[in-house]
Amino acid sequence: MSDQNPVFIPGPTNMPDSIRKACDMATLDHRSAAFGEIFGPAVANVKQILKTRTGEIVIFPASGTGGWEAAICNTLSPGDTVLAARHGMFSQRWIGLCQRHGLNVQVVETPWGEGCPVAAYGEALAADTGHSIKAVLVTHNETATGVRSDVAGVRAALDAADHPALLLVDGVSSVASMDFRMDDWGVDIAVTGSQKGFMLPAGLAIVGVSPKALATAESATLPRAFFDFRDMLNSYATGGYPYTPAVGLLNGLRLSSQMLLDEGLDNVFARHTRIATGVRHAVAAWGMTPYAASPALYSETVTAIRVPEGFNATDIVNRAATTYGVAFGVGLGEVAGKVFRIGHLGSLTDVMTLAGIATAEMAMADLGYPITLGSGVSAAQEFYRHGTGNAAQAAA
């Protein structure tokens, strides 16, 4: 795999050189004032990106999966009921993690390709008059199927049922690339990681915590030590960490979050929408369709592409990797072999995306797919030519 080519997996994403360099630091005492100069701005920037004024930001040396675990073990007790939909590999894994912690998961089975079933959640919440459901889980962007979910809709369903359950949201592949409104949506815990929209290596679990979730942490009894929010926030108060933080990654986060804010969050989201739309034009030109069940569900960070009957989509990913040195995402779980995924989040331009589309075409042509070389590229070119983002990209 050539390190000169961009990757088109939905995380880890491409890293700008400036961010890589920011992660590469000489040893620094994490109990010194110098650490505060890195950590303070990183936390303040992440608050702006999650759009929370009242929430706390807790950052663990872990991956997104650690963030899932932190979300539940700080707020729930053994045997508690949580409401969750299974509609892709990531929502499924979070359910499995809850079950391994002894929670009772009320699973709403949902076809892969669909989003979080807001109406079914509303019914379950309305029926739960005894309030045995303690938390509601939502995967904002199901990375396995390229499907977005309506977090605001789930908040409305909770409010309509006048239900006190916590709203826990996996934003690992959406935060910093798609709009996320922690306070407006009444999200109690938002989970993300460093290696997707933040354009960093893996290694940070970034968790937004509402005052209500923090209050719940006082009475929740699931075992926790490494992931205890209270230890973390107590240490923050004295400018530090309860253990050794990943200082280089935090310095990278300070820079990447600042780069996102300097670009302007609305511009970041518009760039992701434009790039994603170009990819979808290419997919249509290939005579294929996204796996997402309807356009309103299309993710702006990853497209899972359904391949024609008789083909194994994983072959495309292998061919692109071995012959052209370019990484695409394979289908996971139920959609293994049925889809391949183009990740289009993080540090990416229209021009880089055209290279990915062209590579996918070469791999498919090599494998005998019924596509015309250049068809997807030219469909995306037509779209990008008329987009509004190119001048800004040229100036950047």
Ligand X SMILES: *Cc1c(COP(=O)(O)O)cnc(C)c1O
Residues at the interface with ligand X (CB under 6 A): 11, 63-65, 90, 139, 141, 143, 170, 172-173, 193, 202
Q: How far is the CB of 170 from ligand X (least distance, A)?
A: 5
Q: Are 301 and 293 in contact (CB under 8 A)?
A: no
In the chain, alpha helices (H):
17-23, 33-50, 64-73, 89-100, 118-127, 151-160, 211-217, 229-237, 247-263, 265-285, 313-319, 350-366, 375-385, 390-395
Q: Which amino acid is at 20?
A: R
92 versus 359: smaller Cβ distance to ligand X: 92
Q: What is d(CA 298, CA 133) in angstroms, rounded to the nearest whole number?
A: 29
Report CA-CA distances (Å) from 59 to 48, 74, 144, 188, 267.
15, 14, 25, 16, 26
11 versus 240: smaller Cβ distance to ligand X: 11
Q: How far is the CB of 193 from ligand X (least distance, A)?
A: 4
70 versus 285: smaller Cβ distance to ligand X: 70
90 versus 121: smaller Cβ distance to ligand X: 90
Q: How far is the CB of 64 from ligand X (least distance, A)?
A: 3
Q: How far is the CB of 279 from ligand X (least distance, A)?
A: 17
Q: How far is the CB of 153 from ligand X (least distance, A)?
A: 18
Q: How far is the CB of 332 from ligand X (least distance, A)?
A: 10
Q: What is d(CA 281, CA 260) in angstroms, rounded to the nearest whole number?
A: 26
The contacts of residue 267 (CB under 8 Å, 6+ apart) are 392
74 versus 141: smaller Cβ distance to ligand X: 141
11 versus 115: smaller Cβ distance to ligand X: 11
Measured at CB, which residue is nearest to ligand X? Answer: 64
> Which of 313-317's residues contact partners 24+ apart within 8 Å by CB, and which partners?
313/337, 313/338, 313/339, 313/340, 314/340, 315/367, 316/340, 316/360, 316/363, 316/364, 316/367, 316/369
49 versus 380: smaller Cβ distance to ligand X: 49
82 versus 358: smaller Cβ distance to ligand X: 82
Q: How far is the CB of 88 from ligand X (least distance, A)?
A: 8
Angle between helices 265-285 and 247-263 (to 10 degrees): 80
Phi-psi group of 178: left, alpha or beta (phi > 0 → left; psi -120 to 50 → alpha; rest → beta) = beta
As separate numbers, helices (DSSP H) first and strands (DSSP E) second, the chain gives: 14, 13
Q: How far is the CB of 182 from ligand X (least distance, A)?
A: 16
Q: How far is the CB of 130 from ligand X (least distance, A)?
A: 31
Q: How far is the CB of 94 from ligand X (least distance, A)?
A: 7
- Residue 12: asked if its preceding bond is cis (omega within 30°), the reply is yes
In the structure encoding, which two tokens stand for residue 279, read together? 């990819």
14 versus 63: smaller Cβ distance to ligand X: 63
Q: Are 242 and 200 in contact (CB under 8 A)?
A: no
Q: Are 229 and 217 in contact (CB under 8 A)?
A: yes
Q: What is d(CA 242, CA 221) in angstroms, rounded to the nearest whole number?
A: 20
141 versus 349: smaller Cβ distance to ligand X: 141
Q: Are 252 and 22 in contact (CB under 8 A)?
A: yes
